[in-house]
């Protein structure tokens, strides 16, 4: 059934006057009459009783009018749904984030701002290491990621649009009674021979590989005596005096008695948080989320 003919029929059924219906539709009466005739021929039933003075619906016309309104309403709803999806107003968005990035004040501000602007979008948050996020973006299990770039990133990272959001300093987390706690600032070379608490090597955490690279640049390999999957666990273990840890400044938010944070004087001890999404992705929600992230402070 031709939707245009059905729409013409619905207008005539409402107006019960061909001239007014044609004016409302912005056409002349001739094509309107032809459209109604074509619809009647297709259905094998008369839809209107027409005289010189009056137009009235037949029984078949009444039956079609009830269905036509529902059909045309659903067509408009379908158009609206497509528009909302294309414009990023509805749908789903799968966002990856690292454990440490969730502790930055930036993270809750971004998520709250997006949910406020796009209440119709179902947002799913997944805590993953930076390397896991890169892999999940490649396999389309994520739409967008908040991550740090490992020094040796996989080749698939070149298929991503990476936008730097902010840079933060790395700090030394150390027991309050440690010799380095007495210094205002520490350099990486001061950590030679110190036991380290760190994220697991195999977890794909960019901060681990950065720590390794920083130490090796100074001619030593850090001795990791204890691993921790979570940032809070890492800080908590530092309080035991088992070792020292290099952490982003946002982890200062984890206040644990007995742990102090010291600045690093080296000029290469910063870490950058990026927002990443697939290059050329048709998902407008990912692009909008990335654009919003660049404006949130």
- pLDDT over 90, % of the chain: 59
Domain endpoint, select from 86, 106, 135: 86
The pLDDT, as a whole number, for residue 88 is: 59
What is the CATH classification number for the domain harbouring 15? 1.10.10.10
Stretch 145-169: mean pLDDT: 89
Tally of structural domains, the chain? 2
The answer to pTM > 0.85 is: no
Domain that holds residue 127: 93-273
With 0-12 CB in 10 A as exposed, 13-18 as middle and 19+ as buried, what is 158? exposed
- Residue 294 counted as domain residue: no
CA distance 273 to 104: 10
Which sign, positive or negative, has the C-alpha torsion 221, 224, 228, 232? negative
How far apart, in whole angstroms, are the C-alpha atoms of residue 9 and residue 64? 9
Indicate if 202 and 249 belong to the same structural domain: yes
- In angstroms, the Cα distances linking 48 to 39, 43, 56 are 11, 13, 5
User: For 161-187, what is each residue's pLDDT tens digit?
Assistant: 999 999 999 999 999 999 999 998 899
**What pLDDT score does 145 carry?**
96
How does pLDDT run across 84-120, given as a tens digit for each residue?
566 556 788 999 999 888 888 899 999 999 999 989 8
Q: List the one residue out of 251, 236, 211 whose CA is nearest residue 102.
A: 251
The residues with which 264 forms a beta bridge, in sequence order, are: 186
CA nearest to 125, candidates 146, 96, 160:
96
């Amino acid at each position: 059934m031709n939707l245009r003919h059905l729409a013409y029929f619905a207008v005539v059924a409402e107006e019960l006057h061909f001239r007014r219906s044609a004016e409302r539709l912005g056409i002349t009466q001739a094509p309107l009459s032809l459209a109604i005739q074509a619809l009647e021929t297709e259905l094998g039933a008369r839809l209107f009783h027409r005289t010189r003075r009056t137009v009235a619906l037949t029984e078949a016309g009444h039956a079609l009018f009830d269905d036509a309104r529902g059909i045309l309403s659903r067509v408009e709803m379908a158009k609206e749904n497509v528009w909302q999806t294309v414009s990023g107003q509805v749908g789903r968005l799968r966002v990856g984030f690292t454990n440490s990035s969730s502790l930055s004040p930036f993270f809750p501000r971004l998520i709250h701002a997006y949910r406020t602007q796009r209440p119709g979008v179902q947002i799913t948050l997944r805590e993953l290491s930076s390397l896991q996020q890169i892999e999940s973006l490649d396999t389309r299990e994520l739409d967008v990621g908040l991550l740090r770039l490992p020094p040796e990133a996989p080749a698939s990272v070149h298929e991503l649009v990476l936008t730097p959001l902010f840079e933060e300093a790395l700090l030394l987390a150390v027991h309050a009674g440690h010799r380095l706690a007495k210094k205002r600032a520490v350099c990486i070379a001061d950590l030679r021979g110190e036991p380290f608490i760190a994220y697991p090597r195999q977890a794909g955490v960019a901060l681990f590989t950065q720590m390794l690279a920083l130490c090796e640049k100074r001619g030593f390999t850090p001795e990791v005596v204890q691993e921790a999957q979570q940032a809070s666990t890492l800080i908590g273990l530092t309080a035991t005096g088992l070792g020292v840890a290099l952490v982003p400044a946002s982890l200062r938010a984890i206040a644990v008695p007995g742990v102090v944070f010291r600045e690093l004087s080296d000029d290469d001890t910063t870490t950058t948080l990026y927002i990443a999404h697939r290059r050329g992705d048709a998902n407008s929600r990912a692009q909008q989320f990335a654009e919003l992230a660049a404006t949130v402070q």
